[in-house]
Amino acid sequence: MLKATVYTDSEKKPFGFQISGHSGYAKYGSDIVCSAVSALAENTVNSIEKFTKDEPSVLAVNEEEGFLHYRLKTVGKESGLLLDSLILGLQNIADSYGQFVQIRYEVADKEE
């Protein structure tokens, strides 16, 4: 199962996420669920980097294990919108392929 964790502050505003695992929907190279989630996550990171001035406090990637961990030091308006867009996309995928994708929310410190 592919697991997505959305990190929020105490006001439930997102400031990062972690994606781990593989969905198991299909064999490697044909898994549309993993591909969709990967595309959303990678595009979010790339868009924040290109279109905002916000900087990550954590960026860790392991493609073989299907792992991406990303947190921002501060979240401006644009980054907040991009994170909200990621969450919407993840929720839409989970609505259609819930047995393959799990989303959870975790209140956390930005400094981790």
> Which string of DSSP letters, residue by residue, matches 47-99?
HHHHH----EEEEEEETTTTEEEEEESS--HHHHHHHHHHHHHHHHHHHHHTT
Beta pairing partners, 4: 19, 103
Domains located in the chain, CATH noted: 2-107 (3.30.70.1490)
Check pLDDT > 80 for residue 59: yes
Which range (13-17, 44-48, 70-74, 108-112) has the least confidence?
Answer: 108-112
- Segment 84-106 mean pLDDT: 97
Average pLDDT, the chain: 94
Give the angle 12-61-64 at the CA atoms, nearest 5°.
Answer: 125
For the entire predicted model, the pTM comes to: 0.93
CB atoms within 10 A of CB 6: 20
In the three-class reduction of DSSP (H, G, I as helix; E, B as strand; rest coil), residue 17 is classed as strand
